[in-house]
Structure 1
Amino acid sequence: MASAKPNRTTYYFDADLPGFGFYRTTAGTGTYFAEFRPVAGGSKKRLKLGRVGTLKANEAREAARKAIAHAGLGKDLSKDRADERASVTVRTLVDTYIEDFVAMNKKESSAEFYRTMLRKHIDPLIGTIKAVALTRVEVQRAHAAMSKTARISANRAMKLLSAAYGWGAKNGYVPDGMNPASGVDLNREEGRERFLSIDEMKRLGEAMVEAETVGLKVNAGDAKHAPKGQRVKMHPSVTGAIRLIMLTGCRLREILHLRWTEVDLDRGLLFLPDSKTGRKTVVLSAAAVEVLTALPRIGVYVIAGESAGLEDEKPRADLKRPWAAITKRAGLDGLRIHDLRHSFASVGAWSGLGLPVIGKLLGHTDAKTTQRYAHIDVDSSRRAADAIAGQIADAIGGK
């Protein structure tokens, strides 16, 4: 059977035993299964047998043979499994939801984030409670306990728990309609959007020029081992990545994971195969094309990482240290890289482009997401209204 890591969930079937096989998710997780029809002519069912690596292939094949044989006799082992689900714990329910649904249908980064939520917040407080016995009062108390150290993460954990119960009800782990995480009072979250002013953008630009030419002093926080006071130059890929985010409104990972094969400089386009919102085409400005043209081509990724040009090349993981150094030099402590995306949108709104155009440039699939910039768009509309009304007032003799 194949073992290569696929780009999507892939199913493999055994050549000797019809109905037996395994599927592998994009995260590399493999699961053995058996397919059969409990009643002749009835709908086909799939019974999960165990994880690849935990269960040996010969053991999985024997379990599949047994399940298929029982189906031929009119017995349904999957029903027995359904009865066992009623005894699962909250930990098992959430973990199964993550591995069997999230890891198979969403990005691996989402699955890993949910695993962290389960490990750090849900499991320590309510993980051992039977899923069918968990009450809303217990969930609310758990949320309050989480909130003492992580108010935002506590909210995220509740949303994960609620999603797990919704999925669990559809798959027989809990009774239909049971969701003790539904209706829990969540912590208030303040918007964190920050929009750079033109002056702040200028200071950021000057700091990047200094970083890539004469270098920034080590005490700015960029280098790990250089002597204090020494200037360290930054690689063009670092400043180039920041400029591209500013000039395109792309997310950090969209730029760091960008391959040269996804760049069309002649037409001024980026073809992102797997952005947060799926496949996405980014229209490049002349300034963005200029930045891309100036970047050195070392490996397959536009932003060169430590393994650039090597056989096992991987994209750069982050820009944390250089970003901290550049923002400190620019006097913009606390500025997040994601704020550059907000700033791109704010300039568009201020310029009167309109929310639909801004949403398209940012790759928003839901118009509601772009509404966060509505207050800026109102300002541009007011300027337009003043300009129009001013001319009319002059014509009719108004003031």
Structure 2
Amino acid sequence: MPKLTKRVVDAAVPAENDVFVWDEDVKGFGLKVTPSGGKSYVLQYRTIEGRSRRYRIGRHGSPWTVDGAREKAKELLHGIANGADPLADRAAARTAATVADLADLYLSEGPASRPNKKPRSWETDRALLKAHIRPLLGTRTVKSLTRTDIGRFQMDVAEGKSARATDAKRGGKRVVGGKGIAARATATLKAMLSFAAERGIITESPAIGVRLLKQEKVERFLSEKEVAQLADAITKLEDAAKLPPAYAGIFRMLMLTGCRLGEIEGLQWDWIDAERGMIRFPDSKTGAKVTPLPSPTADVLALFPRREGDPFVFPATRGAWGRISGIPKAWRDVRTAAEMPELRLHDLRHSFASFAVADGAALYLVGKILGHKQASTTEIYAHLRDDPLKAVADATAKKIAAAMKGSVKPE
């Protein structure tokens, strides 16, 4: 078995059946000569399951020289050793001609290649693909996309070109634009195109080098008066049977704990250690964590007795997905009744932190309660530490100013 060289390739002659000339250096790499005289480079390999497969690298001639084909064979063998299957990837590539096709492939097979990405993140990707990427780019072929196209897509979303109303029967939601949504949608598009490059659908992601839009973060902190106003709105809607008790309970728990929505709406009884006043989350946005369970939450939890066969604290009101699907509309009703139309659910978490910091709590401890992994994440509350200092300074200065006025006497 010789080493494949240009001389060996040129000397290979056709026969009645296909002729194979295998390379002595790279296992499985060879030249195929058809009865008609066509010559192409191939790679014979076994999948991780043990199936024997043959991959056609390309026809001999430009651009495939024997040396180039050999390097490609080495590259493929490296991937095969790590579980890849070039033939399966090529078949998948044929079914991902358009961006819409690629989106289907990404959502169905992407989780296997990104096992550490959380299910909620995949649901977010699915929503962004449906709302923005499919409407604006779905019919485009993946291979035709350029960096300019990706940048233009981001600006189009920011300007609201994908914004539209959805079915009013499902809560009257709207697909909106803006810098934040545009950046998140573009990040999802970049991740999907990286996946396409890994699968060999494209040679390189056209999104490389595209910078995501930055938005000014407007942090909303509730005052004590606003907290009372919001709590009153929740109670009145619940009493009028316009707000399911489960949602009212979730909103109250968010106000009292500073937890994220996903942590509370999916809270399970087995995670609660009432004796020690702790919630032990087996998973969260930042991984497993233990967070304090403040004593005032006992009054909220007492309204939801444990149900046999149901591990969740708050019962779903719309079936398996009720815990998630009904909350956005319920929150819109609450903030409208409280006359705070701009208030986001996540602002309840910010407000919890703001009350703690303004009361003198150390940023490190506030970060531990909120489950921040990086201290820099908690720094957005640093300015609130100045509020008590300012109050003292103001009171002192007023006294001094009054004394100064009293001591100034005209001559």
Give the TM-score, by structure 2 length.
0.62
2:361 is aligned to 353
2:11: which partner in 1?
A: none
Tell me if structure 2 keeps the 8 A contact 1:282–1:361. Answer: yes
Aligned amino acid, residue 350 of structure 2: H
1:98-118 alpha-carbon deviations (Å, 9 max, x no partner): 433347432323212212322
Tell me, yes or no, if structure 1 residue 333 matches structure 2 residue 344: no
TM-superposed deviation, 1:302: 1.3
CA distance in 2, matches of 1:84, 1:295: 52
Partner AA of 1:78 in structure 2:
D
What displacement does 1:198 show?
Answer: 0.8
Offset of residue 159 of structure 1: 1.0
Map of 2:352 onto structure 1: 344
String of CA shifts for 1:327-358, please: whole Å, max 9, x gaps. Answer: 33433333222211110011122122222211
Counterpart for residue 277 of structure 1: 286
Q: TM-score, normalised by structure 1?
A: 0.64
> Helix, strand or coil for the counterpart of 1:156?
helix
1:78 and 2:85 aligned:
yes
Matches within 5 A, 1:195-210: 195-210=221-236
Q: Aligned letter for 1:360?
A: K
Match of 1:182 in 2: 208
* Structure 1 position 256 matched with structure 2 position 265: yes
Match of 1:370 among 360, 378, 387: 378
Secondary structure, counterpart of 1:140 in structure 2: helix
Choose from 129, 135, 148 the match for 2:159: 148
Whichever residue aligns with residue 290 of structure 2, its letter is T
Q: Is this contact kept in 1: 2:196–2:205, CA < 8 A?
A: no
Identify if the C-alpha distance between structure 1 residues 378 and 183 changes in structure 2 by more than 3 Å, giving closer, same or farther. farther
CA pair 174-336 structure 1, distance change in 2 beyond 3 A: same
Structure-to-structure mapping, 1:1-399, within 5 angstroms: 45-46=47-48, 68-70=51-53, 78-81=85-88, 88-89=96-97, 91=99, 92-102=101-111, 104-149=115-160, 150-151=177-178, 152-175=180-203, 178-184=204-210, 186-212=212-238, 215-216=239-240, 223=242, 236-298=245-307, 299-306=310-317, 315=323, 317-379=325-387, 382=389
Distance (Å, rounded) in 2 between the aligned partners of 1:375 and 1:44:
61
Q: CA deviation at 1:261?
A: 1.9
TM-aligned CA distance change 1:373 to 1:131, over 3 Å: same
- Aligned 8 A contact 2:183 2:214 in 1: no
Query: Could you tell me how far apart the structure 1 residues matched to 2:93 and 2:323 are?
Result: 43
Q: CA offsets, 1:9-68, max 9 Å, x none?
A: xxxxxxxxxxxxxxxxxxxxxxxxxxxxx87xxx9854xxxxxxxxxxxxxxxxx7xx71
Please say if residues 306 and 316 of structure 1, whose CA atoms lie closer than 8 Å, have aligned partners that are also in contact.
no
Change over 3 Å in CA distance of 1:306–1:173 after alignment to 2? same
Partner of 2:51, secondary structure, is: helix
| 1:118–1:320 distance in 2 versus 1, CA, 3 Å | closer
Measured after TM superposition, the shift of residue 271 of structure 1 is 1.8
Q: Which amino acid aligns with 2:291?
A: V
**Secondary structure of 1:267's aligned partner:** coil
Q: Tell which structure's C-alpha radius of gyration is larger.
A: 2
- 8 Å CA contact 2:187, 2:212 repeated in 1: no
Cα-to-partner distance string for 1:209-240 (whole Å, 9 max, x where unaligned): 4445xx34xxxxx74xxxxxxxxxx5543332
Identity of aligned residues (%): 33
Residue matched to 1:15: none
Alignment deviations for residues 264-288 of structure 1 (CA, whole Å, 9 cap, x no partner): 2111111222322222222111212
State how many pairs are aligned.
Answer: 306
> Structure 1 residues 334, 383: closer, same or farther in 2, change over 3 A?
closer
In structure 1, runs of 5+ residues without a counterpart are 1-37, 47-63, 217-221, 224-233, 391-399
Q: CA deviation at 1:136?
A: 1.1
Q: Deviation at 1:249?
A: 0.5
Supply the distance in 2 between the matched residues of 1:297 and 1:255 (Cα, whole angstroms).
15
Following TM superposition, by how much is the alpha carbon of 1:129 offset from its aligned partner in structure 2, in angstroms?
4.3
SS at match of 1:271: strand
Tell me how far apart the structure 2 counterparts of residues 285 and 320 of structure 1 sit (CA, whole Å): 25
